[in-house]
Amino acid sequence: MDIETLLEDCVAFTQTLIQTPSRTHEERVIAELIAAHLRQAGFDEVWLDELHNVYGRVYGRDRTLPALVLNSHTDHVDPGDLSLWAVPPFAGQIVEGQIIGRGACDIKGPLAVQVYSMIGLLRNGERPRRDVVFCGVVEEEIGGTGAKYWVKNLDYPVALVVLGEPSSNRLSLGHRGIEGYWVQFNGRSVHASAPARGENPNYYLAIFLQRLADQQSELKNHPYLGATTVSPTIIEVDTASSNVTPAWVRVFLDFRTAAESPASLLAFIAELAHDLPHTILPGHTWSDMSSDTPLVGFATDPESEVVQRVQAALSKGTGREVPLASYGFATDGRFFPAYGIQVLGYAPGAEELAHTAKESIPIVEMGEALRGYMQLLREF
């Protein structure tokens, strides 16, 4: 088998995927395109479910083994201001060895690599060690509806899910969990011409945000998933009139952590705001707010057998030691451990370029990932 030809075809498929916009809730066309491609490539089974998740199975040499699942998503975020892009975001152009465009690294290039690693074995007359299922799910960008549907309705055993989220060809062990809270500061509204008669809560917010900036470093670290972070994002007030001081102002805090619990985060917020008139309200939460259990998206032990086996296979395929890492952002992988499924991530592309107007993926990284994935399919 000619790996260069395989890579050329993988790149062309990536360009086609980029040229097929698939914003969240608009994934049907691209799902059907992918399904047609898998059928043409000779996959043993190809199907779509009622949400337009798309699947393709290649039978393994030993079909009694639980399946290996290669998971990607088919939606992407909006391209935003088109003037910020060096080339049109849906053109799929190649510039200096990189494919540029919305979805290039998150996640159409990695998706193409996963598919073409399976195609590469078929073209070579090989079979993977076990059944391999490609799984392209919808609505990852807004909370994971497609992934949750897949795992809830799963009717075959799964040994491992490998996510196609960009990791710069490092083996990702997991990512931090997500928790969000509104912190509301209460005052007394008056006409803006007479501020002394009221109580402006914006000043309380200012004090709180300064304390947050000064003390967030006190939040705990996870040994291999990294530090807890908190980002104030949205600020709201109760009035749309510029000549009225607000009765209340609230800020949304986005926490990412694998070491803190909902209870400890609430205690942290309460301590910062202890002398300010405030109320803490739930935002997006996936756990009991009183829980002392650390919030982890997913975390696979670096000393575990599955990590050792996968790292060895990828390293053999690429001809270099594949380093371990973790994701900074959240992924659909957080939904699978509750079902007893192990999760890792491996794909070309830089995480920091996702959702930006500089989104791209290096073709050389795609070629390396193809070789790594093909060896993984042979051995795992």
If you write DSSP's letter for every residue of 232-283 in order, what string do you get? EEEEEES---TTB--SEEEEEEEEEESS--HHHHHHHHHHHTTTS-EEEEE-
Please give the span between the terminal C-alpha atoms of the chain, in angstroms, as a whole number.
21
Structure tokens at 252: 């949304």
- Directed axis angle between helix 363-379 and helix 109-123, to 10°? 50
Confidence label for 1 from pLDDT (cuts 50, 70 and 90): low
pLDDT digits (tens, 9 = 90+) for 306-317: 999 999 999 999
Bridging pattern class, strands 343-345 and 132-137: unpaired
- Average of per-residue pLDDT across 285-289: 61
Overall residue count recorded for the chain in this entry: 380
Top pLDDT among 58 and 283 is at: 58
Q: What is the 3-state secondary structure (H, E, C) of 323-342?
A: CEEEECCCCHHHHCHHHCCC
At 93, the amino acid letter reads Q
pLDDT digits (tens, 9 = 90+) for 246-274: 999 999 999 999 999 999 999 999 999 99
Return the DSSP state at 23. B
Please state the φ and ψ torsions of residue 282, each to the nearest 5 degrees: -70, 140
Whether the per-residue pLDDT at 290 is higher than 80: the answer is no
- Average of per-residue pLDDT across 24-41: 98
Distance CA 13, CA 134 (A): 15
Q: What is the pTM of this model?
A: 0.92
What is the full DSSP assignment across 123-186? HTT---SS-EEEEEES-GGGT-HHHHHHHHT--S-EEEEEE-S--TT-EEEEEEEEEEEEEEEE
What pLDDT shows up at residue 211? 98
Please state the φ and ψ torsions of residue 157, each to the nearest 5 degrees: -70, 145
List of domains in the chain:
3-170+296-379 (3.40.630.10), 176-282 (3.30.70.360)
pLDDT digits (tens, 9 = 90+) for 336-368: 999 999 999 999 999 999 999 999 999 999 999
What pLDDT shows up at residue 282? 87
What pLDDT shows up at residue 179? 92
Q: Is the CB of residue 229 less than 8 Å from the CB of residue 256?
A: yes
Q: Is the peptide bond before 178 cis (omega within 30 degrees of 0)?
A: no
pLDDT digits (tens, 9 = 90+) for 42-98: 999 999 999 999 999 999 999 999 999 999 999 999 999 999 999 999 999 999 999
Whether the per-residue pLDDT at 213 is higher than 90: the answer is yes
Please state the φ and ψ torsions of residue 237, each to the nearest 5 degrees: -130, 170
Share of the chain above pLDDT 90, in %: 95
Whether the per-residue pLDDT at 286 is higher than 90: the answer is no
Non-local (6+) Cβ contacts of 1 within 8 A are: 120, 123, 124
pLDDT digits (tens, 9 = 90+) for 142-175: 999 999 999 999 999 999 999 999 999 999 999 9
Q: Is 287 exposed, middle or buried (0-12, 13-18, 19+ CB in 10 A)?
A: middle
Distance CA 112, CA 188 (A): 57
Could you tell me which of 169, 162, 208, 111 has the C-alpha nearest to residue 350? 169
Distance CA 295, CA 374 (A): 34
**Mean pLDDT rounded to a whole number for the chain:** 96
Could you tell me which of 244, 271, 241 has the C-alpha nearest to residue 187? 244
